[in-house]
Structure 1
Amino acid sequence: MTNFRTEKDCLGEMQIPDSDYYGIQTHRMEKVSGCAGLPVIFYPDMHYALAQIKKAAAKANGRIGAMPQEVADAIVQACDEVLTGKYNDQFPLDMWQGGGYTCVNMNVNEVVSNRANEILTGEKGTSKVHPNTHVNMGQSTNDTIPSATHLGMIGRVDKMICELTKLAKSFRNKQEEFKDIVKVGRTCWQDALPLTLGQEFGGFASVTERLVRKLQHLRPGCFEIVMGGSAVGTGFSAAPGYKETIYEELTKQYGEKVSPMEDLFDGFQNPDFIVEMSGTVKEVAMTLSKICKDLRLMSSGPRSGFMEIQLPALSPGSSIMPGKINPTVPEMVIQISHQVVGNDVAIAMAYDEGELDLNVWDATFYKCLFESFQLVNSEIEILRVHCVDGIKANAARCAQEANSSIALSTVVATALGYPMGVKVAHYCEANNKTVKEAVIEMGLMTEEEAQKLVDPMLMTNPHAMAPVVDAFKKEKHVI
């Protein structure tokens, strides 16, 4: 038989199953919850950050004498239990909610309050601890939710930095492994000057390392929050000394300096840091997508495409064509980029639609940003382990492409003038010759000179190529 307790709020009273740690306000919102079929706790970062905030607030209010110490201690214990994940099933609200996530703040207040009351009295209820009076003391949804969103980012950003650093190392390893494999470059999908496969992968490594630096630059913003501003930035309802003390407690809990934003009114009005963070996560997703599009092209074939590299075979690629293998990991990364770009657009719209003294579109910010974090952080490891680390080079194919490219006529243009380079290129096209064959047949170079100058590998190193061309031009009296 289910036991019930009676709870009251400003709208009336309700019978609550005594097995539930959440209370009347959460039950009210459950009735209009469930559009996404995805609870906010699916990304638990906000709830855990709220528990850290409630814990710090209780400690602060206890220290300054605004709350009985036994109540503060019980709230701290309840918050520590929430942080273990023990009460995750007590946070049932759906991701999409109106009211600036007031219901999420109150859901946490109710769970912490009922557990704290249980610690002190042996039963749930409000006889000793009240969700609004005690757990929410000195706070408002308007400062707790934006602050929890910032603090919740810390672990996600740290993971992204870690995963990107590992991926960059994998690209650097491939740069070294492929440093002696020359291939044709491609611009506008047309043959261009040669480069090494290692140089291409070095470019992948460099941009990945740059993304790490951008995230490291943004990371301190996660620790700048609006606690102490209460409902609109004035700090009304907070006891003297509360603001300073809660930041001391949060700094202890996080092990890094947590600070108020320079202007709390600005912080309430403008969640631009979320826009900036989303844009950087989008940049990560799009950069990885671009790299994966390159990997798809470079591995296309295996007999009728570019065929420069071979990606790890992970599963059959067709239900009817035996032997077909698809680039499944790169295609997953590309699809995730589509979603992350969409999330970033939604975040931009939510930022633009904030009015007056508070931006209330916290659900859009949280759902879209943390979905992007989740997707991108997960894909980076999969991309590294199941794709990049296992890439093999088709050295013979790369060399064949490099040596047969008419773009090698650029060396003729450099050594003997652009018009002569054009003539050589046309000769190659008309006679189906390589540039090396053409310059010999046209009497522009001896076989020895052609072997020396029309060398794709030499052309990948301008420091080595320049003196060779200079010596040839002097010998031919071009200069």
Structure 2
Amino acid sequence: MTAIPTITPCPIGIQAEGTRSERDSMGQIEVPANKYWGAQTQRSLVHFSIGTDRMPLPLYHAYGIVKKAAALVNAAEGRMPEWKADLIARVADEVTEGKLDDHFPLFVWQTGSGTQTNMNVNEVIANRAIQLVGGEIGSQKPIHPNDDVNMGQSSNDSFPTAMHVVTLLEIEDRLIPSVEKLIETLRSKADEWMDVVKIGRTHLQDAVPLTVGQEWSGWASLLEDALKNLRHAREALFELAAGGTAVGTGLNAPAGFSKAIAAKIAALTGRPFKTAPNKFAALSGLDAMVRASAGLRGLAVPLLKIANDMRWLASGPRCGLGELLLPENEPGSSIMPGKVNPTQCEAMVMIATQVLGNDNTVAVAASQGQLDLNVMRPVILANCLHSIRILADGCHNFRVFSVEGTSLNRDKLAHYVNGSVMLVTALSPAIGYDKAAEIAHIAIEHDLSLREAALKSGYLDGETFDRLVNPLDMVGKGVGGA
């Protein structure tokens, strides 16, 4: 086709039944006539129909950005006619917008380089582009999946490029805002309850008092530190492998392509993506993904602690600690009427443990970068995106359905404070550790209040005890404890 074809706007979809014949370097194969994918996608579906784990759709959306950037760079530098680049870019936008999601069917368990996923994208873009100019779908004319859509690229550099783009976008657009809102809610609760004294617990045993607000401020600070580390970890994702092609040498990619495509991706996303300084490292290792996954693990750890702490403190309602009153979202038992469980906390604990497992998978898979290519990319990408998604959704639900509606059982808090023997710690500076310990043992052995035990010991009178043992004086000031 020598003349510039006319684009005829047509709705997405192919109105056809049965199959059509598509070809690749291995020959002909029948594909569903109503799908845009081609031969290599179909071969993957035949050979890798393993489980139900599909390649995450956000990866394809990011791949649309990569393919658009490549086409525009190729056209700008005269390697591709502008009309082809514009056509590819138009369809790539449809990919990024999720309009072609039904045509990306591949499983996670496929070639470790992600070649079949890359070709799935190439084939879908090519056939949809052919449809837009009135050509014969499957003919590979006037848009060829390899020669045009994949120009200047290899699966070995385009897949890790798409990995970095999607992981970065999912962390920044989905996860971070969700965590920030949870931190804000924890901080608000901490400020509200900063003067409410409660008994502390160490080793799951009574300890000296603190305030509810101080305890909650600790939770918020743990998440803030984890989020800071995640932000730092994500910075390595800005470096892109594009331009390294098959083994890092850049064969079949023209000079300057790596910097140009990174700059174009940066412009399309509004993020400071740049070309990786060493493409051999970018292809043979996946350390940036390892660091990102470690950042996700670092977020899961405090979330697990907070959720477990909340369900401990809410245990009861009559035979547990019962300090916190959690929102009642749904019945908790099919056999025990009236039972309500801390389900959002339980869900968060499960999410956190799943993320820890995902991170272990990522670390092991990333260690398998033998020679010049890591071929464990799909499982690394799938686990990272899975962690991001469940952390983001989990933080949202945990905040909305649990943390925001949590209130205090103030009577129970006061009961524990007034009955605690560990307030005896305030007596040590005045009468010494040994005498204070003796008072504590008297209280425990004879089931006395601490005040009664102190008077029974004869070491101090009631007025002195009341002056020394004031729980509010024992909690320090604010969050610093000083």
TM-score (normalizing by structure 1): 0.93
> Which secondary structure does the structure 2 equivalent of 1:390 belong to?
coil
Partners in 2 of 1:310 and 1:368 — Cα distance? 35
Partners in 2 of 1:117 and 1:104 — Cα distance? 20
Query: Are the equivalent residues in 2 in contact too, given 1:139–1:230 (CA < 8 A)?
Result: yes
Partners in 2 of 1:278 and 1:431 — Cα distance? 54
Task: Name the aligned partner's letter for residue 52 of structure 1.
Answer: I
Query: Are the equivalent residues in 1 in contact too, given 2:157–2:241 (CA < 8 A)?
Result: yes
Question: Is it true that 1:161 corresponds to 2:215 in the alignment?
Answer: no
Task: Name the aligned partner's letter for residue 229 of structure 1.
Answer: G
Indicate how the Cα distance of structure 1 residues 462 and 92 shifts in structure 2: closer, same or farther if over 3 A, else same.
closer
Gap runs ≥5 in structure 1:
468-479
Q: Deviations over 1:392-436 (max 9, x none)?
A: 111111111112111111112222211111111122122222222
> Which secondary structure does the structure 1 equivalent of 2:22 belong to?
strand
> Which residue pairs with 1:428 in the alignment?
443
Query: Are the equivalent residues in 1 in contact too, given 2:247–2:280 (CA < 8 A)?
Result: yes
Partners in 2 of 1:221 and 1:410 — Cα distance? 49
Structure 1 position 273, deviation (Å): 1.4
> Which residue pairs with 1:55 in the alignment?
68
Task: Name the aligned partner's letter for residue 106 of structure 1.
Answer: M
Structure 1 position 17, deviation (Å): 4.2
Question: Is it true that 1:147 corresponds to 2:161 in the alignment?
Answer: yes
Gap runs ≥5 in structure 2:
1-15
Task: Name the aligned partner's letter for residue 183 of structure 1.
Answer: K
Question: Is it true that 1:380 corresponds to 2:395 in the alignment?
Answer: yes
Indicate how the Cα distance of structure 1 residues 17 and 418 shifts in structure 2: closer, same or farther if over 3 A, else same.
closer
> Which residue pairs with 1:134 in the alignment?
148
Superposition pairs for residues 191-230 of structure 1, below 5 Å?
Answer: 191-230=206-245
> Which residue pairs with 2:425 in the alignment?
410
> Which residue pairs with 2:94 in the alignment?
81
Greater displacement, 248-257 / 351-360: 248-257
Structure 1 position 70, deviation (Å): 1.5
Q: Deviations over 1:226-245 (max 9, x none)?
A: 11100111111012332232
> Which residue pairs with 2:8 in the alignment?
none
> Which secondary structure does the structure 2 equivalent of 1:387 belong to?
helix
Task: Name the aligned partner's letter for residue 447 of structure 1.
Answer: G
Indicate how the Cα distance of structure 1 residues 99 and 346 shifts in structure 2: closer, same or farther if over 3 A, else same.
closer
Superposition pairs for residues 365-404 of structure 1, below 5 Å?
Answer: 365-404=380-419
Partners in 2 of 1:351 and 1:3 — Cα distance? 41
Structure 1 position 459, deviation (Å): 0.7
Q: Which of residues 232, 235, 246 is equivalent to 1:231?
A: 246
Indicate how the Cα distance of structure 1 residues 17 and 156 shifts in structure 2: closer, same or farther if over 3 A, else same.
closer
Partners in 2 of 1:204 and 1:216 — Cα distance? 19
- Tell me how large the CA RMSD over aligned residues is: 1.8
Question: Is it true that 1:271 corresponds to 2:286 in the alignment?
Answer: yes
Query: Are the equivalent residues in 1 in contact too, given 2:237–2:289 (CA < 8 A)?
Result: no
> Which residue pairs with 1:471 in the alignment?
none
> Which residue pairs with 2:34 in the alignment?
19
Structure 1 position 8, deviation (Å): 2.3
> Which residue pairs with 2:133 in the alignment?
120
Q: Deviations over 1:346-369 (max 9, x none)?
A: 111101122011101012101211
Q: Deviations over 1:184-207 (max 9, x none)?
A: 111111111111111111111111
Partners in 1 of 2:420 and 2:123 — Cα distance? 71
Query: Are the equivalent residues in 2 in contact too, given 1:121–1:128 (CA < 8 A)?
Result: no
Identity of aligned residues (%): 37
Indicate how the Cα distance of structure 1 residues 126 and 417 shifts in structure 2: closer, same or farther if over 3 A, else same.
same
Question: Is it true that 1:245 corresponds to 2:260 in the alignment?
Answer: yes
> Which secondary structure does the structure 1 equivalent of 2:47 belong to?
coil
Task: Name the aligned partner's letter for residue 180 of structure 2.
Answer: T
Query: Are the equivalent residues in 2 in contact too, given 1:66–1:239 (CA < 8 A)?
Result: no
TM-score (normalizing by structure 2): 0.92
> Which residue pairs with 1:476 in the alignment?
none
Query: Are the equivalent residues in 1 in contact too, given 2:427–2:436 (CA < 8 A)?
Result: yes
Q: Which of residues 276, 287, 312 is equivalent to 1:297?
A: 312
Question: Is it true that 1:437 corresponds to 2:452 in the alignment?
Answer: yes
Q: Which of residues 115, 139, 156 is equivalent to 1:102?
A: 115
Q: Deviations over 1:283-303 (max 9, x none)?
A: 212211111111111011111
Aligned length: 463
Query: Are the equivalent residues in 1 in contact too, given 2:167–2:384 (CA < 8 A)?
Result: no
Partners in 2 of 1:15 and 1:412 — Cα distance? 85
Partners in 1 of 2:363 and 2:19 — Cα distance? 44
Partners in 2 of 1:142 and 1:245 — Cα distance? 18
Indicate how the Cα distance of structure 1 residues 72 and 415 shifts in structure 2: closer, same or farther if over 3 A, else same.
same
Task: Name the aligned partner's letter for residue 374 of structure 1.
Answer: R
